[in-house]
Every structure is written in structure tokens, then in C-alpha cells.
Structure 1
Amino acid sequence: MLFILIAFRHRIERSLEEVESLVLPGGIEAKFRRTLDREAEAVIQAKEAEPENAPSRQLQAAQRVEQLAESRGPTFARQQMLGIAREYEVVRASMSPGDRRTREMEKIVTKMRTLGLATRDSLAEFMDSTSPGARLAAIAILQVQPSPDTLIWLSERFRIEQPFVAYHAAVALLVSARVLGPEHADSLRVSIERAQEYLGAGREQSDRYRVLQDALNEVNSNAR
């Protein structure tokens, strides 16, 4: 009997989720959030176990979530992302600075990336938002789908945002350097060097500077 229960556990869980989504208020949204959480957690585990495969795993997760979100209507994914943006702001405001808060915020960014493809149509709105969480969401979208039109905006994050958000802007610039074609090399170089200037002297040992330098090295290597 125990073997049978274990063997059919996942099928039972899926059936219960389907019933919940049909009969409980907010059931569809709750099911989507659980799926998003599972996908994001799998990405985090993959990054820890196989860092070299993490970008492809992240993209695959974002593609699966995008397909799931499409059936929910045109504004569903946007509302989910705004909810995650508020979650970031609450965590940042309510927790003391330190490793624990950083880990929680990294989990939130992973969820944002996983929802990134599903919300790319809201990129301009998030970029122009007065909400730090929404601007972080824009950066997360650009980490999974870089755009040459946003490079200067990313560099401006180093003048405006808190270090955690600026770090993820650096990651977005690094992804852009790896993905965008050689025709964008000059724009990338200008944006990265501007970000380094905004970061200022004495920050060469910071993670933000290190990622920016990796991005610049990537651009220079691809231009050879």
C-alpha cells in the first residue's frame, strides 16, 4: 500500500491542484504561484549543482512559465510580477541587512526571471516605474531577454539604485554582452564603462565591479 501511495503521489497532487483551481477562490492564481515557485526553486538548485548549465535551465523555466501564463489572459502575468515586486520591497524594508536578507531577495529575483518572458510586454512600464521592485523586475526581464535599446538605462541603475539592484543590472549587462551581436559592441562598451564610472573609485573589489569587468572582457573578446 505504501509503495502504491508513493508511486501515485505526484498524480494525486496534480489532481488536487486541478480541483483546487476550479472550486476555490483564487485557485488558478494559487496554482500558478506554486508552479512558479517550483520552477524558481529548481533553477536555484541547478545553479548550485551545475553553475555552467544555470542560464539554459533558467531560460527553459521561463519558457514553460510563459506558456502557462498565456492561458491566463493578457494581464495575468503582469499582475503576478507586480506582486513579486511588492514582495521584494517588503523583504528589503522589513529584514535587517545581511546574508539572510540577500538570500531572500535572490530568491525573489529568480522568480522574476522565471516570469520574465511572460511579462516582456510590460518591460517599458516597469522601467519607468517609481517602484524599486518594478524596476528590479525590468532588470530581471533583461537578464533573460536582453535588448540593445536598454543598455544606457541599465548603466543608469548604478547612479540611482541600491547596490543589490545595481548588481543585477551588472548581471543584465553581462548577459547582454554574451547574447547581443558584435554590431552592438560599441554601445555595450560605452554602457559598461559608464556604469563603472557611476560605481566610483575604490569599488574595484565589489561584486558589481567584478561583473561589469567580466562584461567588458566579454565585449572585447567578441570584438577580436
Structure 2
Amino acid sequence: MEDFAKLLTSIAALVGAIAWPTALLLIVYIFRTELRLALNKVPMLLDRVKKASVPGLALELDRVADDEAESGIDKNGNITPRQLEAAARIAIQAEEAGSQEALLRELDRLCLEYDSLRRSLPSGEKRTRAMTRVIAKMRSLAPSLIDFLDTYKGSGSAGSRLAAIAMMQMDPRAADLAWLKDRFSTEQPFLLYHAALALQNVANICDTPEKKRNLREVAGQALAKVKSFAGVPDRGTVEVLEMLLSSLPH
């Protein structure tokens, strides 16, 4: 990155010295090797998003989101039978096709959609509904892409981290409690709420007293962090964490 920064500095100096049309042609010629290498380093996420989407997959995800919105089965954003059914159907189709590339492209598109919604819409019910549609679609893809969990956990994109949370919601066995706990120090309310739901789902697979105590400690620290925020804490997140704590032994 340092070498590329020096390259850009040299380009700027050259542009300032001669006329722009001539400079452009000269730059492309002189730095053709460096520019080719730089372009090759563009994140694979963007490369996948550029490729054509799979119409059948997009339609399937839209159907799931539309069904949930119309039926109002769970306005709190919990996992529903429709999402589980769609996830199983998509997993079978992906296995038959022998490729996960189309699913990855669609998940990356949803990550970017979430990031765009956060930037473009004001906080409120409309934005929350739009974001809930996104995570409903992410859940339908999550079981098929669980092998990529670490990649999405480590992303600087909030949308990618939401995708990681969706994977943990759908497969609690893959939940990283330490990582989920850290969300309560760094994320915005929507991700906090869904991180709390992920912890709630982990409780369903805690089969030893030690695991339950560990989960209780994480949930207690998460709740304390949420309540320490300036202003009114997110009510939904507080309710999920308090309910979780009440279900776990001291």
C-alpha cells in the first residue's frame, strides 16, 4: 500500500506539470504494470458483485422476505419456519449445482444493500423494515455459506458482520461468543439486537452447566454494556438479553 501511495503521488505531480489529455496517455503507458497490479488487488467482494446475479435465487429470497412482511409472522425479527424452509431448499439447490459462487455473490450484494440502507435512510420504522428484509434473505443463504463465517466476521463492512451474525443465528454451534460480546461495544442498534438473538439461540444448544454459565456471563456483560449507553437503550435488545438471563441458571 505504501508503494501504491507513492505511485499516486507521482501521478498527481505529473498531472500538475503537463496538460491532462497528454498526461493521461503517458500515465497509462508508463505505469501500465503497476496499475494492472493495483487493479488486481481490488477486493474479491466487489468482483463477485459485478458478476451477473442468478435470477432464480434472487426471486426465491424476495419471496421469503415478501411472505414474512405480508404475514407479519414475527415483527421482532426472529427466525421463522419460512426462512428455515428456504434455507434448506437453497442448500439443496447449491449442492446439486456444485458451486457456492452464486450464493456468495448474492450475500455480498445483500451486505452492500444493508450498508447502503444505513447511509441513505433516516433512522426509523421504514429503515428497520428494510434492514429486516435484508437479514431474512441473509438467513436463507447462511447455512450454505457457513464455511465463510470467519471472512465475514473479519470484514470492515457492517453489512458483512450482519451476515456473520445471520450465520450464527441459523447455526448456533458456530457462534463465537467472544466475538458476539464485542459487538455490544462497537455496533449500531440493529446489529446489537440481532447479536442478542444469536446469543438467545445459543442457549438452545447449551448442554452442560459450564456452557450455560459461560453464556450467562457473556449475556450479562452485553446487557450491562447496552444499558451503559448514553440516552435510552434499545428496548428490544434489553428485552432479549433479560429474557435470556432469566432462563439461565446462576
**TM-score, scaled to structure 2:** 0.70
Match of 2:85 in 1: 60
Query: How far 1:166 sits from its partner (Å)?
Result: 0.6
Query: How far 1:55 sits from its partner (Å)?
Result: 3.5
Go from structure 1 to structure 2 and tell me whether the alpha carbon gap of 1:104 and 1:89 turns closer, same or farther (over 3 Å shift).
same
Given the alignment of the two structures, is residue 150 of structure 1 paired with residue 179 of structure 2, yes or no?
no
Query: How far 1:69 sits from its partner (Å)?
Result: 2.5
Match of 2:46 in 1: none
Query: How far 1:61 sits from its partner (Å)?
Result: 2.0
Contact 2:175 2:198 in 1 (8 A): no
Match of 2:117 in 1: 91
Match of 1:189 in 2: 216
Question: Unmatched 5+ residue regions in structure 2?
Answer: 1-50
Contact 1:178 1:218 in 2 (8 A): no
Match of 1:211 in 2: 240
Alignment counterpart, residue 144 of structure 2, candidates 118, 121, 126: 118
Match of 2:225 in 1: 198
Return the alpha-carbon distance in structure 1 between the equivalents of residues 79 and 103 of structure 2.
Answer: 23
- The one-character-per-residue Cα deviations of 1:151-184 (angstroms, maximum 9, x if unpaired) are 1211111101011111110111111112332352
**TM-score, scaled to structure 1:** 0.77
Deviates more, 1:134-143 or 1:38-47: 38-47
Match of 1:175 in 2: 201
Contact 1:81 1:119 in 2 (8 A): no
Q: How many corresponding residue pairs?
A: 195
Return the alpha-carbon distance in structure 1 between the equivalents of residues 127 and 205 of structure 2.
Answer: 30
Match of 1:141 in 2: 167
Contact 2:216 2:248 in 1 (8 A): yes
Identity of aligned residues (%): 32
Match of 1:107 in 2: 133
Return the alpha-carbon distance in structure 2 between the equivalents of residues 136 and 49 of structure 1.
Answer: 19
Contact 1:146 1:180 in 2 (8 A): no
Query: How far 1:44 sits from its partner (Å)?
Result: 4.4
Opposite residue 205 of structure 2, the aligned amino acid is V
Given the alignment of the two structures, is residue 80 of structure 1 paired with residue 109 of structure 2, yes or no?
no
Return the alpha-carbon distance in structure 1 between the equivalents of residues 233 and 156 of structure 2.
Answer: 29
Deviates more, 1:157-166 or 1:53-62: 53-62
